Structure 1
Amino acid sequence: MSSNRYPIIYVRGYAMTEAERDDTAADPFCGFNVGSTVYRATVKKDAPAQKFVFESPVVRLLADYQYQSVYQNGLDILDDDWKPSPDETGKDVDGIAAASIVIYRYYDSGSELLGDGRSRDVKVYAQGLGKLILRVRDLVALREGPAFSAADFRCYLVAHSMGGLVVRAFLQNPALGDAAARACVDKVFTYATPHNGIDMGGVNVPAWLTANEMNTFNRERMSEFLDTAPVDGRMDYLPAAAFPADRFFCMVGSNRGDYEAAKGLSRMFAGHGSDGLVRIENASLWSIDDAKRSKPVATAYAFRSHSGYFGIVNSEEAYQNLVRFLFGDVRVDLWFEVDGVTLPPDLPKDADVDALYQVELLAAPRGKRWYLSRRVAEEDSPACRTHKELTDPERPERRSIYLSTVFLANKARVKQDRPTLAYAMTLGVRVPDYQVNKKFWLDGHYEGSSLFRDTLVIEIAPPRADDPAQNWNVKYGWQTDTAGQASLPMSPKQLADGKLQFIVPLSSLGAAPAAPGISGKVRLEVSAWS
Structure 2
Amino acid sequence: MTDKRYPIIYVRGYAMTATERDETTADPFCGFNVGSTVYRATVDKKAAAQKFVFESPVVRLLADFQYMSVYQNGLDILDEDWKPPPDETGADVEGIPSASVIIYRYYETGSDLLGDGKSRDITAYAKGLNDLILRIRDLVAKREGPPGPEGFRCYLVAHSMGGLVVRAFLQNPALGDAVARQCVDKFFTYATPHNGIDIGGVNVPSWLTVNEINTFNRDKIAEFLATPKINGRVDYLPATALAPERVFCMVGSNRGDYEVAMGASRMFAGHGSDGLVRVENATLCSFDKDGKERPVATAYTYRSHSGYFGIVNSEEAFQNLVRFLFGDVRVDLWFDVESVTLPPDLPKDADVDALYQVELLAAPRGKRWYLSRRVAEEDSPACRTHKELTNPATPEKRSIYLSTVFLSNKARVKQDRPTLAYAMTLGVRVPDYQVNRKFWVDGHYEGSSLFRDTLIIELSPPADAASAEWKVNYGWQTDTAGRATLPTTYKDVIDGKLQFIVPLSSKGAALAAPSITGKVRLAVSAWN
* TM-score of the superposed pair, with normalisation by structure 2: 0.96
3-state SS of 1:92 partner = coil
Cα distance in 2 between the residues matched to 1:89 and 1:345: 77
Deviates more, 1:79-88 or 1:423-432: 79-88
Aligned twin of 1:98: 98
RMSD (Å), alpha carbons: 1.5
Aligned twin of 2:29: 29
CA-CA distance at 1:243 after TM superposition: 1.1
Tell me if 1:164 matches 2:163. yes
CA-CA distance at 1:150 after TM superposition: 8.8
How far does the alpha carbon of each residue in 1:387-432 deviate from its partner, in whole angstroms, 9 at most, with x for none?
0001000100001100000000123338532121100000000000
Tell me if 1:455 matches 2:454. yes
Aligned twin of 1:155: 154
* Counterparts of residues 406-421 of structure 1 (less than 5 Å): 406-413=405-412, 415-421=414-420
Matched AA of 1:492: Y
1:464–1:416 distance in 2 versus 1, CA, 3 Å: farther
How far does the alpha carbon of each residue in 1:187-246 deviate from its partner, in whole angstroms, 9 at most, with x for none?
000000000000000000000111111100000000000000000000111112221110
Aligned twin of 1:296: 295
Aligned twin of 1:481: 479
Tell me if 1:442 matches 2:463. no
Q: Is the Cα–Cα contact under 8 Å of residues 288 and 294 in structure 2 kept in the other structure? A: no
Unaligned runs of 5+ in 1: 42-47
3-state SS of 1:524 partner = strand
CA-CA distance at 1:468 after TM superposition: 3.3
* Counterparts of residues 107-122 of structure 1 (less than 5 Å): 107-122=107-122
Cα distance in 2 between the residues matched to 1:165 and 1:150: 30
Q: Is the Cα–Cα contact under 8 Å of residues 196 and 216 in structure 2 kept in the other structure? A: yes
* Counterparts of residues 356-375 of structure 1 (less than 5 Å): 356-375=355-374
3-state SS of 1:336 partner = strand
Tell me if 1:517 matches 2:515. yes
Q: Is the Cα–Cα contact under 8 Å of residues 360 and 428 in structure 1 kept in the other structure? A: yes
Q: Is the Cα–Cα contact under 8 Å of residues 366 and 414 in structure 1 kept in the other structure? A: no
Aligned twin of 1:397: 396
Aligned residues: 521
* Counterparts of residues 64-79 of structure 1 (less than 5 Å): 64-79=64-79
Cα distance in 1 between the residues matched to 2:406 and 2:131: 31
Q: Is the Cα–Cα contact under 8 Å of residues 40 and 52 in structure 2 kept in the other structure? A: no
CA-CA distance at 1:294 after TM superposition: 1.6
1:39–1:286 distance in 2 versus 1, CA, 3 Å: farther
1:527–1:283 distance in 2 versus 1, CA, 3 Å: same
3-state SS of 2:360 partner = strand
Aligned twin of 1:309: 308
Aligned twin of 1:265: 264
Matched AA of 2:304: S
Cα distance in 2 between the residues matched to 1:39 and 1:399: 39
Cα distance in 2 between the residues matched to 1:187 and 1:376: 28
Q: Is the Cα–Cα contact under 8 Å of residues 13 and 160 in structure 1 kept in the other structure? A: yes
Q: Is the Cα–Cα contact under 8 Å of residues 360 and 376 in structure 1 kept in the other structure? A: yes
Matched AA of 2:7: P
Q: Is the Cα–Cα contact under 8 Å of residues 84 and 93 in structure 2 kept in the other structure? A: yes
1:59–1:288 distance in 2 versus 1, CA, 3 Å: same
1:355–1:470 distance in 2 versus 1, CA, 3 Å: closer
Matched AA of 1:35: G
Q: Is the Cα–Cα contact under 8 Å of residues 367 and 414 in structure 1 kept in the other structure? A: no
Aligned twin of 1:192: 191
Aligned twin of 1:498: 496
Cα distance in 2 between the residues matched to 1:40 and 1:20: 33
3-state SS of 2:115 partner = coil
3-state SS of 1:152 partner = coil
Aligned twin of 2:467: 469
Q: Is the Cα–Cα contact under 8 Å of residues 244 and 296 in structure 2 kept in the other structure? A: yes
Unaligned runs of 5+ in 2: 42-47
Matched AA of 2:89: T
Cα distance in 2 between the residues matched to 1:90 and 1:381: 50
* Counterparts of residues 37-48 of structure 1 (less than 5 Å): 37-38=37-38
Q: Is the Cα–Cα contact under 8 Å of residues 253 and 280 in structure 1 kept in the other structure? A: yes
Deviates more, 1:358-367 or 1:491-500: 491-500
Cα distance in 2 between the residues matched to 1:366 and 1:95: 40
Tell me if 1:123 matches 2:123. yes
1:16–1:427 distance in 2 versus 1, CA, 3 Å: same
3-state SS of 1:86 partner = coil
How far does the alpha carbon of each residue in 1:278-331 deviate from its partner, in whole angstroms, 9 at most, with x for none?
000100000124642220000000000000011000000000000000000100
Cα distance in 2 between the residues matched to 1:359 and 1:40: 27
3-state SS of 2:452 partner = strand
Q: Is the Cα–Cα contact under 8 Å of residues 10 and 32 in structure 1 kept in the other structure? A: yes
Cα distance in 2 between the residues matched to 1:333 and 1:513: 28
3-state SS of 2:108 partner = coil
Deviates more, 1:84-93 or 1:193-202: 84-93
3-state SS of 1:165 partner = helix
How far does the alpha carbon of each residue in 1:221-275 deviate from its partner, in whole angstroms, 9 at most, with x for none?
0000000000000011111222111000000000000000011000000000000
3-state SS of 2:523 partner = strand
CA-CA distance at 1:149 after TM superposition: 5.2
1:516–1:40 distance in 2 versus 1, CA, 3 Å: farther
Q: Is the Cα–Cα contact under 8 Å of residues 305 and 311 in structure 2 kept in the other structure? A: yes
